[in-house]
Amino acid sequence: MIWKRSAVLRFYSVCGLLLQAAASKNKVKGSQGQFPLTQNVTVVEGGTAILTCRVDQNDNTSLQWSNPAQQTLYFDDKKALRDNRIELVRASWHELSISVSDVSLSDEGQYTCSLFTMPVKTSKAYLTVLGVPGKPQISGFSSPVMEGDLMQLTCKTSGSKPAADIRWFKNDKEIKDVKYLKEEDANRKTFTVSSTLDFRVDRSDDGVAVICRVDHESLNATPQVAMQVLEIHYTPSVKIIPSTPFPQEGQPLTLTCESKGKPLPEPVLWTKDGGELPDPDRMVVSGRELNILFLNKTDNGTYRCEATNTIGQSSAEYVLIVHDPNALAGQTGPDHALIGGIVAVVVFVTLCSIFLLGRYLARHKGTYLTNEAKGAEDAPDADTAIINAEGSQVNAEEKKEYFI
């Protein structure tokens, strides 16, 4: 088989020389404008690369593709290298296109298209093969983690070419302050990339997903991700919630002890004024609730709820003051004295306004009549009084009147 392959290669080489000689004898003026055109190709490892060589002007001169090792792949439409991955796409006087399927990193390099004019003209096309990064892995997490501990997570991926980029996210928010390390793999072509994230955990981190995302041009905008859900243990937090803000004598009251912690706190412990509940018949504990039936003044005091888990203990207090129903109703009812005082002030202001307005109108009217009659009071008869009154009206424009 080897000698057959060598014979084929020698055959195409001889054909090439013969074509060169023929081209030199039948050379035309237009041959100087003939030149092969190629383009660089980038393909993802495992994909298919298409190598195309075109000639705009060709006087029936042969085209040939050869690999980085200068082995002939195709001479026109004749396959020269026995490789099932290499196939003819198109062959004509103006184009020679071939495909290389299941591309590997070893296929990367410079491919040559030759146009057998005299002299032979060539064009180079560089085939770049992208190494796909492997699925990332997160290490360094051991469950559970105690609140306040420093956590260190490392995300690693191998096989990328060029080196991949790693990004961290927590609660969908990117974390920038991370360490990045790039190492060349044994094949000296691909890279192993790792990134380390350090942070101190608290109870808000419990159940949070920390995501490591690998970005690379070979992934076609679909990054690979690894996720780690955090489990944080912390001491309980306790809060007492009353069923009513104003406990009244004779009515029931429920105090709920709301406790959160991990692990979940054990059943809570209720105490009053530092001791046991004084009246178990009326003070009934049900789970996390303390139910007090028929409140009275003796129930006043400080009630305490304690919650405990394997991490620690926490407590909360509630001061109970039992109110008299009548006094509470008086406090919460409408303030009639205040309303009455406001009404009295409004009435007083209204009456004062009416009084001042009436006095002003009365004084204004008296003054007008006095000025009008002035000058007519000393007249000997009625006609003279009218004449004097008219004169007074004429002179009234020259007078200024002031009202106080």
Same-domain status, 246 and 225 = no
Q: H/E element holding 16?
A: helix 2-25
**What CATH number is associated with residue 201?**
2.60.40.10
What is the torsion angle, in degrees rounded to the nearest 10, for the CA atoms of residue 98, residue 104, residue 105 and residue 111?
-10
Report the Cα 127 to chain-centroid distance in Å.
Answer: 39
pTM value is: 0.66
Indicate whether 87 belongs to any domain.
Answer: yes
Among residues 130, 175, 157, the alpha carbon closest in space to that of 225 is found at: 157
Same domain, 123 and 139: no
Contact 235, 147 (CB under 8 A): yes
Are both 208 and 251 inside the same structural domain?
no
Together in a domain, 111 and 147: no
Per-residue pLDDT of the chain (404 residues; tens, 9 = 90+): 433 444 444 444 444 444 444 444 444 344 456 899 999 999 999 999 999 999 988 888 999 999 999 999 999 999 999 999 999 999 998 999 999 999 999 999 999 999 999 899 999 999 999 999 999 999 999 988 999 999 999 999 999 999 999 999 998 899 999 999 999 999 999 999 999 999 999 999 999 999 999 999 999 878 999 999 999 999 999 999 999 999 999 999 999 999 999 999 988 999 999 999 999 999 999 999 999 999 999 999 999 999 999 999 999 999 999 999 876 555 555 556 677 778 888 888 888 888 888 777 777 655 444 444 445 455 555 455 445 544 544 444 444 444 43
In this structure, is residue 173 part of a structural domain? Answer: yes
Domain final residue, candidates 268, 301, 320:
320
Is the same domain home to 138 and 221? yes
Residue 377 lies in a domain: no
| Domain containing residue 284 | 235-320
Last residue of a domain, one of 230, 245, 274: 230
